[in-house]
Amino acid sequence: MTREENALFNEQKKLVLARFKTLNPEAKIMLGGDKEVSVKELISHIENGDEFGKKVVKVQIKMLQVLARGAN
Amino acid sequence: MVKSFLITRPNHDVNTSYLHSFAKDILKIVKTTRDIHVTDLDGDKATRDRVEEHLTRENPRLVFFNGHGDRIKICGHKNEAILDKENIWLTKDKMIYALACDCLEELGEVAIMNGTTAFIGYRARFMIVIDPSRNSSPDKDKNVVPFKKACFTLINALVFGNTVSKSIELTKKEYEHSIRSYGTSEDDPYGDTPLIRFALAWNLEFLGMEGDPEASF
């Protein structure tokens, strides 16, 4: 990752964290294999910067881009 | 000519009960379609022996697996591995849609190397957001409606002859439509919309395919 890409990712990470922190921390997503992940755990993955956390940031940004494109 | 279609849908825990429920609509439609013969390996019938028997004897062109999975296998009843590297050769010349976690990542690639025509699935965990007060009656859980719609869009498009690439395109559009449109107070009484939108975007991102994008049923 270049310095610019890194800076952009850090900005995205802050934005995604701010959004997840407005949600109920105990709310859960089912993941398959009878596993679950709570909002609190998603936040922890993002803050730790692990691979799952990085994917969460990427997907949340894409979700915002889909929303920004407006309704069909 | 009657086309053969095989579906597996175990139903032994909360997760599989939701996928089992998602597949009901396509089964209803297919059962009224004269030129499609469907075999439904439902609940405890979703075993490795039965899957292998049907893949061999009926030679279905399209197989729809529902259940748990990981990078190297798809599971059936009580999480028995019903498709893995040992028996993947049985899916030669067939189209696979696996509504199971992760399996496109490795099993999908192995399948194509063994002659499977196309393998559609997810490169990560398949996510859903359920209403915990409804987890014993998935048919009545409004939270999962957009997930169910996306899964239906894909299998419905495949069953009625769309190519793999077109079916995926339609499904991605359905995911995008749900991301934009979900979230009125009527369909989200518990404020789960942001999480539902995230999970839909996750599934949108990791849905993909290996093999021939122009294949059709």
Instruction: Indicate yes or no: CB of A63 within 8 angstroms of CB of B128.
Output: no
DSSP string computed for B181-209: H---TTT-TTS-HHHHHHHHHHHHHHEEE
- The predicted pLDDT at position B183 comes to 77
Which residues of chain B are at the A interface, by a Cβ-Cβ cutoff of 8 Å?
Answer: 13-15, 18, 68-70, 100-101, 124-130, 132, 173, 176-177, 179-181, 191-192, 194-195, 197-202, 204-205
State pLDDT tens for residues A6-45.
899 999 999 999 999 999 999 999 997 778 999 999 999 9
Six token digits for residue B198: 């995230």
B82: helix, strand or coil: strand
- The predicted pLDDT at position B134 comes to 86
Q: What is the CATH number assigned to the segment(s) B3-211?
A: 3.40.50.1460
Only one residue has tokens 């939108």, namely: B197
Instruction: Report ipTM for this prediction.
Output: 0.92
Q: Look at residue B1 and tell me whether its pLDDT is greater than 90.
A: no
A-B CB pairs within 8 A amount to: 80
Chain A residues closer than 8 Å to B197 by CB: 63, 67
Instruction: Indicate yes or no: CB of A32 within 8 angstroms of CB of B101.
Output: yes
What percent of chain B has a predicted confidence (pLDDT) above 70? 97
Global pTM reads 0.94
Q: Look at residue B201 and tell me whether its pLDDT is greater than 70.
A: yes
Of A34-38, A60-64, B159-163, B175-179, least confident by mean pLDDT is: A34-38
Mean pLDDT along residues B32-39: 95
Mean pLDDT along residues B191-214: 95
Q: Name residues whose C-beta falls within 8 Å of residue A48's C-beta, 6 or more positions apart in sequence.
A: none
Instruction: Give dist(CA B151, CA B120) in Å, integer.
Output: 12
**pLDDT bucket at B186, cuts 50 / 70 / 90:** low
- Domain count of the fold of chain A: 1
Six token digits for residue B160: 């009625």
Instruction: Indicate yes or no: CB of B128 within 8 angstroms of CB of A30.
Output: yes
- Check residue A63 and report its DSSP letter: H
Instruction: Give dist(CA A69, CA A67) in Å, integer.
Output: 5
Residue A24 sits in which domain range? 3-68
